[in-house]
Amino acid sequence: MPEANTRQFVEIQEIRNDVLILKDGSLRQIIKVGSTNFELKSQDEQLAVLQNFRNFLNSLDFSVEIMIMSRKLNINKYLAFINESAENQQNELLRIQTVDYSKFVQELTQLANIMAKDFFLAIPFYISPKVSKGIGETFKSVFKPSTVVKEMKPEDFESYRIQLSQRVNLVFENVAGMGLAPKPMEQDGLINLYYRLYNPEAIEGIKTQ
């Protein structure tokens, strides 16, 4: 069965209390990060952003993963709204301007791919010391959850989650200090996020929170 075979390659075993539990027994928490237009900032503001980012990296004693999701923006619904507004417009001059604007947007999207980008930080927590695996062990771990996952008791998970939260809070404070509006991902948002990652051809409109 193709679907079952595909699921075997997904490294996530489950999502519990907004925390990803991977098949190798490690935990992840995801933070969605806002963006800023670096080019529009003054030189002093740019230097401040770079300084804050350097301080953020230096404050970490654990690894973090920076993820960028880039996809072509689907503006069909927006164009439909503009065209409907033009049809319902009583003022002839405004109707003509609205139609011209709709044509302009369509031509612009044909000339260049307009991309939507989302930014995320993944904060890890390893229950046991991370050790390098051979190719065979890594391949097996994708198909079969580790015994750590199967034997993880609720009280153990809560202890690990608290330790992970301490890391998340540190990252959260530093990112907020750079003016990037961080937001922890909750369960529904995580499901939508990873659905989009594993199904890039999925219909646009699924949102991450």
Question: Could you read off the pLDDT of 16-43 as tens digits, one per residue?
Answer: 888 998 888 889 999 999 888 888 888 8
- CA distances 153 to 16, 147, 159, 177, 186, Å, are 12, 12, 10, 36, 22
Domain ranges (residues) in the chain: 2-71+116-198, 74-113
Question: Could you read off the pLDDT of 104-162 as tens digits, one per residue?
Answer: 888 887 777 777 788 999 999 988 655 445 444 444 444 455 666 767 788 888 999 99
pTM: 0.67
- CA distances 15 to 22, 23, 172, Å, are 9, 11, 21
